[in-house]
Structure 1
Amino acid sequence: MNELEQIIKLHEKLIYHIASKFYDTPKEDLYQAGVIGIIKAYNNFTDNGTTKFTTYAYNYIYGEMYELVNNHRSIRLNKNILKLYKKIEQTKYLMAQKLGYIPSYTEIATYLNIDESTIYQIYSITSSIMSLDNEEERNIYETISNPAYDINTNSIDLKDSMNTLTKEEQDIINYRYFQDFTQSETAKKLGLSQVTVSRYEKKSLSKMYNYLNS
């Protein structure tokens, strides 16, 4: 066990103590955020003989947990908006595949039978919401078929790329992008930590992208 691991172990009680101040967020997620806080404190701490590491680390731990809780709350409050955003993005992608060009808002609105003004409002709102989740709530078609990647993806290709994933990775992608689960909800469903889900998700998307770009 190295020095950092020892410090994390020694401060577990502090992490759980601070975690007890927050509600409606899984304790495992809060613990992982607390560990990140400890690591950041460890990397930035300078022993000047006047400030104890525990005192210094407290603000880092609390700050990471506070950010986690606020981000989850913002995402929950805007989940319906995000669902509509995903529906619009997927429709835009599928229509572009059929039409050979990116459809206008008018064409998308007609296809979805919604007001064109609604699409403008959704894009305006999500431009700020998406940053709260580091763009992890993006539609999977947009995520791995971004025009910047120069990939021509269709539903068959997408299914084939899913076959390159392990069963656990497929479950994560399914919950995250096809059932609209948040990372925290996915973690709870699969018995994993939110940090693990985030890591596996990024790894899975990378594997799918590499397959589609091969």
Structure 2
Amino acid sequence: MYEKTLFELVKTIQTKGNENAMLKLIKEFQPLIKKYSYLVDYENSESELTLTFIKTLYKIPINNPKFKQDKYIISYINKSIRNKYIYLSKNRNKIYYYESPINLDITQTPYQTNIGNKLFINDLLLTLTKREREIINLKYFKEYSDIEISKKFGISRQAVNKTKNIAITKMRKYILSN
């Protein structure tokens, strides 16, 4: 039985949208996807990496003569999945270290409020400058985006991000000292 090359499978996917060829390639590259998914240690990473793999198959420049060799296609796919892994890792770390959500339940209603928590948050916010407090309030309590905050204050998005990070660092130091 004649076995199709990687180039032929990719070409079939791009020209005919062949589902069987797609499933065959997903199965072949599953170990690579699982490897990076394990490294990211993020709940939906495997599905996001698989989706990236599928998108990559449609982006491979099959009109380029060098891509008729499997090694170039494999390298292209590997780099694409690795780049998505790096992106997911950076986002996971950013969320974990810088943008941990504040538990808004403690400030919802007076009936549900734990007075100790509310006083602690007030003390925590008092360690910040007025501008830092306003940015933290807009970002985490009112859920504004960095762009919305930058427009409100007439500053760049980078300045908002820098101020936010400085404020978070101050709050961390305050928490660690208490």
Which of the five TM-score ranges fits, normalised by the shorter chain?
A: 0.3 to 0.5
Computing the radius of gyration from Cα coordinates, the structure with the larger value is 2
TM-score computed with the length of structure 1 as normaliser: 0.35
TM-score computed with the length of structure 2 as normaliser: 0.40
